[in-house]
């Protein structure tokens, strides 16, 4: 292995001067610098970043803890995080939680801290009480932590999507296209996001003076399979439903299939709106109207925020950033009645 010493010897200087040349923190004369660069080139020297981290107390590692990476949401967020990490010169340490609800936070976090990470991005979906580990006292001893997709809480830095507003977009669009009995297939209600979307559905209907009773709601588990079952359940509860807002696109896939099996024509017999705008949603039959969240952007912002907290620890104060989702209109909902066009 080639070290600074070898380079220094080859260039006829001291190791310190080599370091100064590389970091640029102290001036080095043009000609010695040229000699050093030449020696580096000839020897193929690369600085050992581990050693550098040790003395600098800055590893340029950021840990990402997430789960269900084969789902659309988490993978999209991770992509955004990685893109920004590359931009800012960080390497990503990836940890996956197998069961987000009973994660062994303690061992995961302490291991990452022992690795010397500069910051942590916690992108595990909020399920049940799985963020209770992060007490104020514990966080004080940790590097900066940015939370993604979590309920707002004072003192926490959180990057979020406005799930209620997304639900409102979906429900209001259904109302605009003439629907009057609007059901909801929710995600599991121990998930914060599922509760938010349910609340958004409920509030929008209340504002419009439409029904929002419990028999208009069925509960799924995010999977296509559960969407299928929930659709059957919902229609048996209330046969007069003319449209459904679904908690995510996966469940919408299952619901579409179930609707086909029942011989429904969509959107004529039943209008459907999903949530997430997964790539496939555009190619379902019929193409799915859905809510787009800028998850890639959320990932980028999360890493940028972690960087800010690392780089300027004194100025940085806990903050919350919320992204607004947007409506993507496709063929699983009807033409707008009130004034606009589809």
Q: How many residues does the chain have?
A: 342
Task: Kindly state the number of chain residues that form the binding site for a copy of itself, as judged by CB under 8 A.
Answer: 52
Which C-beta is closer to DNA: that of 32 or that of 101?
A: 32
126-131: which pairs have CB atoms within 8 A and are 24 or more residues apart? 126/150, 126/151, 126/191, 126/192, 126/193, 127/100, 127/101, 127/188, 127/190, 127/191, 127/192, 128/101, 128/190, 130/100, 130/101, 130/102, 130/103, 130/105
66 makes contact, choosing from DNA, a copy of itself, none, with CB < 5 to 8 Å by partner type, with none
88 in contact with a copy of itself (CB under 8 A): no
268 in contact with a copy of itself (CB under 8 A): no
4 in contact with DNA (CB under 7 A): yes
> Cβ(207)–Cβ(171) under 8 Å?
no
| Residue from 43, 88, 93, 208 binding a copy of itself (CB under 8 A) | 93
> Which of 93, 87, 85, 140 is CA-nearest to residue 114?
93
Q: Tell me which residues in 32-71 interact with DNA (CB under 7 A).
A: 32-33, 45-48, 51-52, 54-57
Phi, psi of 186 (to 5 degrees): -95, 165
> Which of 121, 122, 114, 113 is CA-nearest to residue 142?
113
| Residue from 10, 13, 256, 291 binding DNA (CB under 7 A) | 13
Q: Which two tokens stand for residue 143?
A: 């590097």
Q: Which two tokens stand for residue 117?
A: 């990470």
**What b/e readout covers 106-127, taking b as 16+ CB neighbours within 10 angstroms?**
eebbeebeeebbbbbbbbbbbb
207 makes contact, choosing from a copy of itself, DNA, none, with CB < 5 to 8 Å by partner type, with none
- CA angle (215 as vertex; 210, 220 as ends), nearest 5: 110
282 in contact with a copy of itself (CB under 8 A): yes
117 in contact with DNA (CB under 7 A): no
Print the binding letters for residues 195-234 with a copy of itself: x by CB under 8 A, - otherwise: ----------------------------xxx-xx------
Q: Which parts of this chain interact with a copy of itself (CB under 8 A)?
A: 46-51, 53-54, 59, 64, 69-70, 72, 75-76, 78-79, 82-83, 86, 91-96, 98, 110-116, 223-225, 227-228, 250, 253-254, 256-257, 260, 279-280, 282-285, 287
**List of residues contacting DNA (CB under 7 A):** 1, 3-5, 12-20, 22-23, 25-29, 31-33, 45-48, 51-52, 54-57
């Amino acid at each position: 292995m080639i070290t600074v010493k070898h380079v220094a010897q080859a260039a006829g200087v001291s190791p310190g001067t080599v370091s100064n040349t590389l970091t640029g923190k102290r001036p080095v004369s043009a000609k010695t610098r040229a000699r050093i660069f030449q020696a580096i080139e000839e020897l193929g020297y690369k600085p050992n970043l581990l050693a550098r981290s040790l003395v600098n107390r800055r590893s340029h590692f950021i840990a990402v803890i997430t789960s269900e990476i084969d789902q659309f949401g988490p993978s999209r967020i991770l992509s955004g995080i990685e893109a920004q990490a590359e931009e800012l010169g960080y390497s990503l340490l990836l940890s996956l939680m197998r069961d987000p609800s009973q994660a062994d936070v303690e061992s995961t976090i302490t291991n990452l801290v022992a690795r010397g990470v500069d910051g942590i991005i916690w992108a595990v979906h909020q399920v049940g009480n799985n963020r209770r580990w992060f007490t104020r006292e514990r966080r004080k001893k940790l590097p900066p932590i940015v939370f993604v997709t979590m309920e707002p809480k004072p003192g926490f830095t959180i990057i979020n999507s406005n799930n209620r507003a997304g639900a409102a977009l979906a429900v209001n669009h259904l109302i605009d296209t003439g629907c009057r009995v609007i059901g909801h297939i929710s995600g599991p209600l121990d998930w914060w996001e599922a509760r938010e979307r349910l609340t958004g559905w409920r509030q929008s209907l209340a504002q419009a003076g439409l029904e929002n009773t419990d028999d208009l709601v069925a509960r799924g588990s995010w999977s296509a399979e559960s969407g299928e079952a929930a659709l059957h359940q919902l229609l048996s509860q209330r046969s007069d439903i003319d449209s459904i807002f679904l908690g995510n696109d996966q469940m919408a896939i299952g619901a579409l299939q179930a609707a086909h099996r029942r011989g429904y024509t969509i959107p004529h017999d039943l209008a459907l709106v999903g949530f997430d705008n997964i790539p496939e949603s555009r190619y379902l039959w019929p193409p799915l109207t859905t809510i787009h969240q800028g998850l890639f952007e959320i990932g980028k912002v999360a890493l940028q925020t972690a960087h800010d907290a690392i780089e300027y620890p004194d100025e940085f104060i806990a903050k919350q950033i919320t992204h607004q989702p947007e409506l993507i209109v496709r063929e699983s909902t009807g033409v707008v009645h009130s004034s606009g066009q589809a």
